[in-house]
């Protein structure tokens, strides 16, 4: 039985060979690895084609640059395996984690998707932490939490028959998962941490690009909230719209936008209506209360919080501080666990 692995690639020459090799070295061998090159201008294509010439399980496809969502969707369209998994170009599968017994369980249990334990690791692959899940069927799929999209294995027929795809807006993986959760009838958690998420995140600077990114996310959730007739999808999107509006306002304050501009955004996304329709956290409840009663005080408090974040970002550039922080964040030694 074939397992399809979709890997979107964009200028991934630093990592892509290691990512592919770790899949090929798994005990289970029946894979097709779909490498979708989203218009790379580095040597990614040369690396993947060389591996593909040596192993027919690796397949290279080139497309003009259109964003990671178009590459993932192309992979879904092309995949021929009974199950499909997604992997980013800098992430890995743990050594000897995909076994015949693991695949036999997927076949036996016949779920729409499987949600697995996974490791988050540092850039050097030296330390990490485990996000562990119990073994068992998910009794209430729509109340189950989301996690990294690459820690899931999906039934390909389920994905294709429900026309589940990745959209062009920020947080596209969350909306992909929300549709999976909305349409699934049977799902399972498995304590088989095969996936290593290499945390490549850098602190986001307060720029116009950040505002554009947040607005993109908001637009994505707003689109599905307005168009969907599925109650779960509407509610999920409404909750995230509220979260994103507050994120957008806080970013605008960091960017020194005026109070009038902030008020304009609140009106544009109709925060009052969202608050009346959907659930929101106690934190956002307090923020909304202050936002409505005293915008100037809200701005003042947010500036204070942003200053603390700026200090932490600067500290993170200090090697000694970063080393101490990584020890706290990643308590596990990867080599001792024999994951690579």
The pair of structure tokens assigned to 121 is: 């690791």
Residue 166, pLDDT score: 95
Q: Residue 319: how many CB atoms within 10 A of its CB?
A: 8
pTM above 0.75, yes or no: yes
Please list the residues that pair with 196 across neighbouring strands.
Answer: 92, 119
10 Å CB burial of residue 201 (0-12, 13-18, 19+) is: exposed
Q: Return d(Cα 97, Cα 25) in angstroms, integer.
A: 10
Q: Return d(Cα 35, Cα 16) in angstroms, integer.
A: 9
Q: How far from chain centre, in Å, is Cα 227?
A: 23
State which H helix or E strand residue 259 sits in.
helix 259-268
Three-state DSSP at 109 gives helix
Contact predicate 94/193, CB 8 Å: yes
b/e map 309-318, b = 16+ CB within 10 Å = eeeeeeeeee
Contact predicate 21/58, CB 8 Å: no
Contact predicate 246/286, CB 8 Å: no
Q: Return d(Cα 301, Cα 296) in angstroms, integer.
A: 9
Backbone angles phi, psi at 117, to 5 degrees: -60, 155
Contact predicate 221/240, CB 8 Å: yes
Q: Return d(Cα 132, Cα 122) in angstroms, integer.
A: 18
Looking only at the bridges linking them, the beta strands covering 127-131 and 113-121 are antiparallel
Looking only at the bridges linking them, the beta strands covering 83-86 and 3-9 are parallel
- What secondary structure does DSSP assign to 264-278, as a single string? HHHHHTTHHHHHHHS
The tens place of each residue's pLDDT in the chain, 340 residues long, gives 899 999 999 999 999 999 999 999 999 999 999 999 999 999 999 999 999 999 999 999 999 999 999 999 999 999 999 999 999 999 999 999 999 999 999 999 999 999 999 999 998 899 999 999 999 999 999 999 999 999 999 999 999 999 999 999 999 999 999 999 999 999 999 999 999 999 875 433 334 568 999 999 999 999 999 999 999 999 999 999 999 999 999 999 999 999 999 999 999 999 999 999 999 999 999 999 999 999 999 999 999 988 888 888 788 788 888 788 888 899 999 999 999 9
C-alpha closest to that of 86 among 34, 26, 40, 128: 34
Looking only at the bridges linking them, the beta strands covering 332-333 and 127-131 are antiparallel
């Amino acid at each position: 039985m074939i397992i399809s692995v979709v890997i979107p690639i964009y200028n991934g020459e630093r990592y892509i060979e290691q990512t592919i090799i770790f899949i090929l070295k798994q005990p289970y061998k029946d894979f097709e690895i779909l490498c979708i090159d989203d218009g790379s201008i580095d040597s990614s294509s040369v690396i993947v084609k060389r591996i593909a010439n040596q192993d027919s399980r690796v397949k290279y496809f080139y497309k003009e640059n259109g964003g990671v969502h178009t590459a993932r969707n192309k992979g879904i369209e092309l995949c021929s395996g009974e199950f499909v998994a997604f992997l980013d170009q800098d992430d890995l599968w743990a050594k000897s984690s995909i076994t015949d017994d693991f695949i036999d369980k997927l076949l036996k249990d016949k779920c729409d998707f499987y949600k697995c334990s996974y490791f988050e690791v540092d850039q050097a692959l030296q330390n990490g932490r485990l996000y562990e899940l119990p073994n068992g069927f998910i009794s209430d799929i729509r109340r189950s939490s989301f996690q990294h999209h690459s820690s899931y294995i999906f039934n390909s027929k389920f994905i294709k028959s429900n026309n589940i795809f990745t959209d062009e807006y920020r947080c596209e993986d969350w909306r992909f998962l929300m549709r999976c959760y909305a349409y699934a009838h049977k799902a399972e958690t498995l304590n088989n941490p095969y996936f290593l998420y290499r945390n490549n995140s850098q602190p986001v600077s307060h720029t116009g690009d950040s505002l554009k990114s947040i607005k993109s996310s908001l637009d994505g959730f707003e689109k599905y909230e307005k168009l969907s007739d599925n109650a779960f999808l509407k509610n999920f999107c409404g909750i995230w719209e509220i979260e994103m509006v507050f994120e957008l306002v806080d970013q605008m304050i960091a960017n020194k936008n005026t109070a009038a501009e902030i008020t304009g955004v609140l009106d544009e996304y109709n925060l009052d209506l969202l608050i009346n329709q959907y659930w929101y956290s106690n934190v956002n409840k307090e923020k909304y209360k202050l936002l409505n009663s005293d915008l100037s005080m809200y701005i003042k408090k947010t500036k204070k919080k942003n200053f603390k974040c700026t200090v932490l970002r600067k500290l993170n550039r200090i090697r000694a501080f970063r080393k101490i922080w990584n020890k706290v964040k990643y308590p596990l030694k990867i080599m001792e666990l024999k994951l690579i």
